[in-house]
């Protein structure tokens, strides 16, 4: 072990958790090894957030021209070229991968391409890690951060053959340039709805099958209702409360067999069946944690159903000196949460070593914005109305529609609304949901307000630039107390 290179921190996995941690650690002066078995950037950059947003941009442009073009005085025949959109997406991905590589290099971090596995060791003597790629190499690190992420969940009965029955990884493969005539999507969650929007815009007839009684069931029901209007207008069929029993490839197409989700497990065989046929099927039913072959069992790192168990405050695993962050911990599976966790794990790793200009830190999940790039976009934060009720909050709410906002009207973006939830006693903001133009951006202002415990008045009394979409936040806050200027109401009485 003595002749192997010694690092302060080794990070396994280079998604938004891992590559971010590597740069952060270098900023504090640490000697860093970053290990990646596929491509820099992980799911987010290669087969997640970034490529879908690149395709979304094409879909959005098509929808804008189709829906508003004529009214805005821009009439044209649209020629769709999905292959070109995919090539643009590929270019963006490879440029950003190059960007991460350049940043790691600039910070003098060593990037190793290969599968990392912790072979043994402890927090006093350091840990030995093997890297198996084109070359085999062992390194040693005083602290380790596992940031290996997740991959699409597979169910045997869905017969995912990566040919006709696909995962989101397959559909975002650089060579996948097909617009299926009919696309069946299993799971109407975040991934399912984002792809439904993209492919239906490019011409697919999209059919979605969802187990729960609603698509994107984590969002506020009135937001989902608004989204459903758009799904309907795009001709997307959403079949809810469907238990998908099997998916089979017919060679030239796919066929799914379902029954009602209310049928008990022991009666599935005799239950009345429905059949759905299409040319391709996308399975988007959640994600499995990438925790295999990392040496966890040998080291005694505790896991639960594939997730690496961590102290939720410090992110240390059951083995001192080894931390885990991001999707692999089974927490909130969002890129920005993984990056936040990276900051915490790096701070705790380096603080425990001593000699670095950083102190111990704990996680803070109080304010986690979430965004969904359907059309219209969705942004949400904090708790929903039902949760607020369950938690015993007395609520005050504000709601403001896009159609009443000057800037939104000018942009031809009149669909949607913002909903603000505040605590009746303190007037502090406890949640917000927004569906409409720039919703994911609007949520950032509310995140800042919530992070600092601001009240509805604090935000409403802040001058917002006119004319901007950010005035949606202003009017939404004002409406909590019946003071929105561009909404009919009644005088306020004591
Ligand atoms: P998800 O949990 O959002 O949705 C999966 C859906 O599939 C759920 O509605 C679930 O009820 C349904 N489902 C599960 N099993 C089923 C079955 N057998 N038959 C029919 N329906 C079934 O998971 P998804 O969409 O795969 O996304 C994975 C993760 O990636 C999520 O944590 C999400 O937050 C994240 N993500 C975030 C994005 C963003 O921030 N914009 C974009 C895409 C994904």
User: How far is it, in rounded angstroms, from Cα 64 to Cα 374?
Assistant: 14
Q: What is the pLDDT of residue 276?
A: 98
Cα 8 to the center of its chain, rounded Å: 30
Contact 149, 290 (CB under 8 A): yes
Contact 242, 274 (CB under 8 A): yes
With a cut of 50, say whether residue 1 has pLDDT above it.
Answer: no
Separation in Å, CA 386 to CA 150, 223, 337, 430, 473: 29, 13, 24, 12, 22
How many angstroms separate the alpha carbon of residue 117 from the centre of ligand 1? 29
- Give 275-299 pLDDT, tens digit per residue: 999 999 999 999 999 999 999 999 9
> Over the chain, what is the mean pLDDT?
97
**Domains (range + CATH), the chain:** 6-47+88-151+288-353 (3.50.50.60), 156-285 (3.50.50.60), 376-479 (3.30.390.30)
Name the residue among 328, 387, 391, 339 with its Cα closest to residue 363. Answer: 339
- Give 218-258 pLDDT, tens digit per residue: 999 999 999 999 999 999 999 999 999 999 999 899 999 99
Mean of the pLDDT values across residues 296-320?
A: 97
Q: Is the CB of 145 under 6 A from ligand 1?
A: no
With a cut of 50, say whether residue 481 has pLDDT above it.
Answer: yes
Radius of gyration, alpha carbons of the chain: 24
How many angstroms separate the alpha carbon of residue 12 from the centre of ligand 1? 25
With a cut of 80, say whether residue 118 has pLDDT above it.
Answer: yes
Confidence of residue 3 (pLDDT cuts 50, 70, 90): low
What HEC string does 109-153 produce? CEEEECEEEEEEEECCCEEEEEEECCCEEEEEEEEEEECCCEEEC
Mean of the pLDDT values across residues 458-483?
A: 98
Mean of the pLDDT values across residues 420-436?
A: 98
Q: Is the CB of 407 under 6 A from ligand 1?
A: no
Mean of the pLDDT values across residues 132-136?
A: 93
- Give 186-203 pLDDT, tens digit per residue: 999 999 999 999 999 999
466 in active site: yes
What stretches of 13-94 adopt beta strand conformation (E)?
32-36
Q: What is the pLDDT of residue 492?
A: 83
Please report, rounded to a whole number, the percentage of residues in the chain having pLDDT higher than 90: 98
What stretches of 187-236 adopt beta strand conformation (E)?
205-209
With a cut of 50, say whether residue 60 has pLDDT above it.
Answer: yes
The active-site residue, picked from 162, 466, 486, 494, is 466
User: 375: exposed, middle or buried (C-beta count within 10 Å: 0-12, 13-18, 19+)?
Assistant: buried
Separation in Å, CA 184 to CA 38, 165, 170, 282, 374: 28, 9, 14, 6, 17
Its pTM surpasses 0.85:
yes
Mean of the pLDDT values across residues 17-38?
A: 98
Q: Is the CB of 288 under 6 A from ligand 1?
A: no
Q: Is the CB of 191 under 6 A from ligand 1?
A: yes
Instruction: Name the DSSP class of 67.
Output: I
Q: Is the CB of 111 under 6 A from ligand 1?
A: no
Name the residue among 439, 436, 438 with its Cα closest to residue 230. Answer: 436
Mean of the pLDDT values across residues 52-74?
A: 96
User: 250: exposed, middle or buried (C-beta count within 10 Å: 0-12, 13-18, 19+)?
Assistant: exposed
With a cut of 50, say whether residue 107 has pLDDT above it.
Answer: yes
Task: Tell me the two tokens of residue 410.
Answer: 């000018």
**Nearest atom (ligand 1) to Cα of 49:** 42
* Residue environment code for 90-119, b if the CB has 16+ CB neighbours within 10 A, otherwise e: bebbeebbeebbebbeebebbbbbbbbbbe
Contact 374, 194 (CB under 8 A): yes
244: CB partners within 8 A, 6+ apart: 158, 186, 209, 211, 256, 257, 258
Mean of the pLDDT values across residues 132-146?
A: 96
332: CB partners within 8 A, 6+ apart: 365, 368
Contact 204, 180 (CB under 8 A): yes
Q: What is the pLDDT of residue 491?
A: 87
């Amino acid at each position: 072990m003595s002749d192997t290179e010694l690092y302060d921190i080794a990070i396994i996995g280079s998604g938004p958790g891992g590559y971010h941690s590597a740069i952060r650690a270098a900023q504090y002066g640490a000697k860093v090894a970053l290990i990646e078995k596929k491509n820099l950037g992980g799911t987010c950059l290669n087969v997640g957030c970034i490529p879908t947003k690149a395709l979304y941009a094409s879909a959005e442009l098509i929808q804008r021209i189709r829906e508003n073009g004529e009214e805005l005085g821009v009439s044209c025949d649209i020629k769709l070229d999905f292959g070109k959109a995919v090539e643009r997406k590929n270019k963006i991905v490879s440029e950003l991968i190059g960007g991460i590589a350049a940043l790691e290099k600039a910070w003098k971090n060593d990037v190793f391409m290969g599968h990392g596995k912790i072979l043994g060791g402890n927090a006093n003597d350091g840990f030995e890690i093997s890297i198996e790629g084109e070359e085999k190499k062992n390194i040693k690190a005083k602290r380790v951060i596992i940031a290996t992420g997740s991959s699409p969940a597979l169910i045997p009965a869905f017969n995912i053959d990566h040919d006709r029955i696909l995962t989101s990884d397959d559909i975002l493969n650089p060579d996948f340039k097909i617009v299926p005539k009919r696309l069946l999507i299993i799971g109407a969650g975040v991934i399912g709805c984002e792809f439904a929007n993209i492919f239906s815009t490019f011409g697919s007839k999209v059919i979605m099958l969802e187990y729960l009684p609603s698509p994107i069931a984590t969002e506020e029901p009135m937001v989902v209702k608004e989204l459903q209007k758009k799904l309907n207008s795009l001709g997307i069929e959403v079949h809810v409360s469907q238990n998908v029993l099997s998916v089979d490839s017919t060679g030239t197409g796919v066929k799914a067999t379902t029954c009602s989700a209310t049928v008990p497990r022991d009666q599935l065989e005799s239950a009345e069946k429905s059949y759905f046929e299409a040319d391709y099927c996308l399975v988007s039913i959640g994600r499995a944690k990438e925790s295999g072959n990392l040496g966890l069992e040998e080291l005694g790192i505790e896991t639960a159903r594939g997730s690496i168990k961590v102290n939720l405050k410090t992110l240390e695993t059951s083995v001192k000196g080894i931390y885990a962050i991001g999707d692999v911990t089974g927490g909130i599976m969002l890129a920005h949460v993984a990056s936040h966790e990276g900051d915490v794990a790096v701070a705790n790793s380096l603080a425990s070593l001593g000699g670095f200009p950083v102190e111990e830190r704990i996680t803070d999940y109080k304010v986690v914005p979430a965004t969904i790039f359907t059309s219209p976009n969705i942004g949400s934060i904090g708790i929903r109305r039902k949760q607020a009720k369950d938690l015993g909050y007395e609520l005050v709410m504000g709601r403001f529609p896009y159609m009443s906002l000057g800037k939104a009207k000018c942009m031809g973006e009149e669909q949607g609304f913002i909903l603000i939830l505040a605590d009746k006693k303190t007037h502090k903001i406890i949640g917000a949901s927004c569906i409409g133009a720039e919703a994911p951006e609007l949520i950032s202002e509310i995140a800042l307000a919530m992070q600092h415990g601001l009240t509805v008045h604090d935000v409403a009394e802040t001058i917002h630039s006119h004319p901007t979409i950010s005035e949606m936040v202003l009017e939404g806050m004002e409406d909590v107390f019946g003071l929105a200027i561009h909404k009919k109401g009644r005088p306020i009485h004591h």
